[in-house]
Amino acid sequence: MSKLPKVFGFFQRKFGQLIAVVAVVVLAQIAWTTYREAPVPDLTSATAASTAGHKVDPTDNRGKPLDGLSARQLQAFEEGKVLFKKKFTVKEGLGPLFNGESCFECHGQPSNAVGGEGRDNSSTSIVNFARRIPTSPKAKKPMAEVIETLGKRDVDFFLEKGGPSLQKRSITTENPDLLPFDVQVDADMIPPNADIISPRHSPPLFGDGLIDNIADADIIANSIKQNIEHPDLAGRPISAVDRYTESPRVGRFGWKNQNVNLFNFTTGAMNIELGLTTYLSATENSSKSFGIFPKEVYQILPPGPNDKGEILVKLNYFQALLAPPKRGEITEEVKRGEKHFQDLNCAVCHQPSMVTAPNGYVVDPDSPLPNLKYLRLDALSNQKIYPYSDFLVHQMGKELADGIPQEGARGGEWRTTPLWGLRFKKFLLHDGRTQVIHDAIMFHGGQAEKSKNDYARLPKQEQDELLAFLRSL
């Protein structure tokens, strides 16, 4: 019996230790939940105020995250930004053909705004090429007569020669000693019989996660409303297939709405621009045919897919949480210019505002492919946004037609370019052909011909007011 107090004391000590462990676990869980969910205050203004002698535009939020993110969400945003700026190597899957070593290389204008437009209009742009199929009736007519109406059945995209997107660099053009002299990887060249060549400027990505969460039905509703109220200006929604779900959705990304969401856009860009393969785009691009290279090339490449499922989701998360550009100063001149914008029916296509879906989602950066999970974010849900676009395609006339059909868009149709952040843009229109807003307006044709001509007839003062409005966006 004398042993009972000792046994009782032993169990009492163990029970106390157990209680202590449970308390620590509970407190850790509370701390993690608080860390994960607590919004992070915006310190931008304080930082700007403390930067002595340097003038900072308080409305310039390019490259910043959405407001109201938790500490964990902000950390994942920063992790994605690191990958966005990362220069990939051949050992990590870069190439064999590619256009850039990092996402930032084509989306880095200005240098402090990660996710911006291309820095120039040559090295950071892409080029699409094709030719009219000889058996197409449109092949026998002058290009100027048919360029606006060319569809997929009229065009050969040179898929067996690396088309339809030009990849200007290879692992041996960048490092000739990487492989033996007689084993070199040829970069793409535009075939001599290509009669359709279309350069595309790299656009900024700010606010794309909000655009991603506009309901398909709302974009379709824009088209229905335009057909009723302004049939001569009515645009068309483009339907494309989601690579992951294999279900049709309404396109909203890309110059011709060829991508249904940001995840699909990022998948294609990783493969075409960086040469990185993923579960959803697992074939290397070759200037000869699909994934065909000398055996020596495969010996220095990592096994595919190059991304085991983690890079894509983190890049997508970073882009989805980039904040939309803020408006500049709204003066009386700007207000008058906005009225001209409305009177000329510019706002029919460049629709000022839309509202995101009640439940906005983003792919969980901690759920690698092929088994994706989605996170609901308040910052993406039920948000009124001002992109100044209807996210439809419109026929824009011969001056802007490039002849490249993509998904359902024809050779002369283009997505209504969102105008938010226009005041920061350096290059305008799909090919960056001008840096002058007035000139960009005057290139409009097709369904926008009347609005362009009405703008041209405005008195100089009213033109300047409208341009002041556009420079405030």
pLDDT digits (tens, 9 = 90+) for 242-279: 999 999 999 999 999 999 999 999 999 999 999 999 99
313 within domain boundaries = yes
173 within domain boundaries = yes
Cα dist. 449→178, 196, 232, 400 in Å? Answer: 53, 24, 11, 12
Which residue range(s) make up the domain with 205? 78-470
pLDDT at 304: 86
Question: What is the radius of gyration, based on Cα positions, of the chain?
Answer: 26
Lowest mean pLDDT among 49-63, 221-235, 238-252, 344-358: 49-63
457 within domain boundaries = yes
142 within domain boundaries = yes
Q: Which residue has tokens 């990362």?
A: 86
pLDDT digits (tens, 9 = 90+) for 332-375: 999 999 999 999 999 999 999 999 999 999 999 999 888 899 99
Structural domains counted in the chain? 1
17 within domain boundaries = no
Whether pLDDT at 180 is above 80 = yes
pLDDT at 13: 55
pLDDT at 292: 82
pLDDT at 369: 85
Cβ burial, residue 162 (10 Å; 0-12/13-18/19+): buried
Rounded to two decimals, what is the model's pTM?
0.88
362 within domain boundaries = yes
Query: What is the chain's mean pLDDT, rounded?
Result: 89
pLDDT at 12: 55
15 within domain boundaries = no
Please list the residues that pair with 384 across neighbouring strands.
355
Helix, strand, coil percentages in the chain from 3-state DSSP, rounded to 5? 35, 10, 50
26 within domain boundaries = no
Contact assessment for residue 151 and residue 405, using Cβ atoms and an 8 Å cutoff: yes
The SS3 call for residue 22 is helix
Alpha-carbon gap, residue 205 to 48, rounded angstroms: 24
DSSP letter for each residue of 375-420: EE-GGGSS-EE-------EEE--TTT-----BTTB-TTEEE----T
